[in-house]
Structure 1
Amino acid sequence: MNQEIIEAIENKNLIEFNYDGESRTVEPHCYGVSTKGNEVLRAYQVDGYSSSGNMGWKMYDLGKADNINVLEDTFDKSRSDYKKGDKTMEEIYSEL
């Protein structure tokens, strides 16, 4: 469990990290363990590389992420289309 990610969610700080070798910046909304047993982050990507070319909702397997950095920049609130209680997570450590 990563306490910095939990605090980023609680304080609505943006998170920047490398994922599959590419930089991403996200608004973290839910952090926990997937039904497959992986540590994961449900977040809204606002900047950086996207293989689909789209920003938006993504599920990140944190085992594929490195250089995780909580930024001082914040976001205003939970996105209106966010659904609490992510069904793809077996255990939720923190969520908006």
Structure 2
Amino acid sequence: MHSTLIQAITAQSVIELRYHGYSRIVEPHAYGRNNLGNDILRCYQTAGGSKSGEGAGWRILKTREILSLHVTEGCFTIRHDYQRNDKGMLNIFCQL
């Protein structure tokens, strides 16, 4: 999954994944490790479900809790409200 996430971010490819029982379509912007040692993905969800009931918005997903991941043929542009050097990440593996 590590190399797939890096490739998707670099190519600005849309990802379809399954997380916490919901199918989600996301635009990955940053991937790294937080201060608790969890690998996390900062992404913008454009479609799909969530526990909160909100279908779209910024998310931080723990990569170990992603059950399946598929890079789609869709591409995205960087979100205008995205900020590089994510403060939630102690180490950044890849970012836009």
Q: Does 1:12 align with 2:1?
A: no
Distance 1:6 1:17 in 2: 15
- Please give the residue correspondences for 1:1-96 in structure 2 after superposition, counting only pairs within 5 Å: 2-54=2-54, 55-75=56-76, 77-96=77-96
Distance 1:69 1:32 in 2: 19
- Deviation at 1:35? 1.2
Once the two structures are TM-superposed, the CA of residue 17 in structure 1 deviates from its matched residue by 0.8
Distance 2:10 2:66 in 1: 21
Residue aligned with 1:88, SS: coil
TM-score by length of 2: 0.93
Listed as ranges, the gaps of 5+ residues in structure 1 are none
CA–CA distance in structure 2, aligned partners of residues 79 and 31 of structure 1: 15
TM-score with structure 1 length normalisation? 0.93
Matched letter for residue 64 of structure 1 = E
Displacement of 1:53 in angstroms is 2.4
Q: Percent identity?
A: 41
How far apart are the structure 1 equivalents of 2:30 and 2:58?
A: 11
CA distance in structure 2 between the aligned counterparts of 1:44 and 1:30, rounded to whole angstroms: 10
Count how many residue pairs are aligned between Structure 1 and Structure 2. 95
1:24 Cα offset (Å): 0.7
Q: Which runs of 5 or more structure 2 residues have no equivalent in the other structure? A: none
